Structure 1
Amino acid sequence: MPLRSSPFVLLARLGSFGAVAVAASLAFAAPPTPTPSPSPAATASPKAPMVMQNAGVKPGGLAPAQREALSAINRYFNSVRTMSGAFVQFGPDGETADGEFHMARPGKIRFIYAKPSNLDIVADGIDVVVRDIKNQTKDLYPLGKTPLRFLLADQIDLTSEANVTKVSLEPDLISVVLEQNTVFGDGKLTMVFDRKSSELRQWTVTDAQGYDTTVAVYNVTPNQPVDEKLFKIDRTIIR
Structure 2
Amino acid sequence: MRKIILAALAAALLSLPAAAAPSKGKAPPPPALSAEQQARLPAIETYLNGIRSLKSQFVQSSDDGAPLTTGTFQLLRPGRMRIDYDGNGNYIVADGRFVYFWDAEVKEQQNAPIGSTLADFLLREKISLSGDVTVTRLAEDDGLLEVTLVQTKEPGQGSLTLVFEERPFGLRKWRVLDAQGRTTEVALQNPQFGVSLDTDQFYFREPGRRRERD
SS in 1 for 2:191: strand
Matched, 1:227 2:159: no
Matched, 1:79 2:50: yes
What does the per-residue CA deviation read over 1:196-238, in whole Å, with 9 as the maximum and x for residues that have no partner? 3331121111111111111111221111211111111259xxx
What does the per-residue CA deviation read over 1:25-55, in whole Å, with 9 as the maximum and x for residues that have no partner? x55476xxxxxxxxxxxxxxxxxxxxxxxxx
Residues 1:4 and 1:182: Cα distance change in structure 2 (over 3 Å): farther
Between the aligned partners of 1:148 and 1:171, the Cα distance in structure 2 is 29
Between the aligned partners of 1:174 and 1:113, the Cα distance in structure 2 is 27
Q: 1:44 is matched with which residue? A: none
Between the aligned partners of 1:148 and 1:87, the Cα distance in structure 2 is 18
Q: 1:169 is matched with which residue? A: 140
Between the aligned partners of 2:122 and 2:147, the Cα distance in structure 1 is 12
In structure 2, which of residues 71, 74, 80 is the aligned counterpart of residue 108 of structure 1? 80
Alpha-carbon shift at residue 72 of structure 1 (Å): 2.2
Q: 1:148 is matched with which residue? A: 119
Moved over 3 A (4+): 1-4, 26-30, 159-162
Alpha-carbon shift at residue 159 of structure 1 (Å): 6.0
Please say which of residues 193-202 and 204-213 is displaced more in the overlay. 193-202
Query: What TM-score results when the alignment is normalised by the length of structure 2?
Result: 0.77
Residues 1:153 and 1:222: Cα distance change in structure 2 (over 3 Å): same
Matched, 1:4 2:6: yes
Number of equivalenced pairs: 191
Q: 1:17 is matched with which residue? A: none
Between the aligned partners of 2:57 and 2:83, the Cα distance in structure 1 is 9
Alpha-carbon shift at residue 105 of structure 1 (Å): 0.5
Q: 1:136 is matched with which residue? A: 107
Relative contact order (alpha carbons < 8 A, sep ≥ 6): 1 or 2 greater? 1
CA RMSD of aligned residues (A): 2.8
Alpha-carbon shift at residue 75 of structure 1 (Å): 1.8
Larger radius of gyration between Structure 1 and Structure 2: 2
Q: 1:14 is matched with which residue? A: none
Structure 2, unaligned runs of 5 or more: 19-29, 207-214
Query: Kindly, what percent of the aligned residue pairs are identical?
Result: 34
Matched, 1:189 2:174: no
Between the aligned partners of 2:137 and 2:15, the Cα distance in structure 1 is 21
Residues 1:201 and 1:57: Cα distance change in structure 2 (over 3 Å): farther
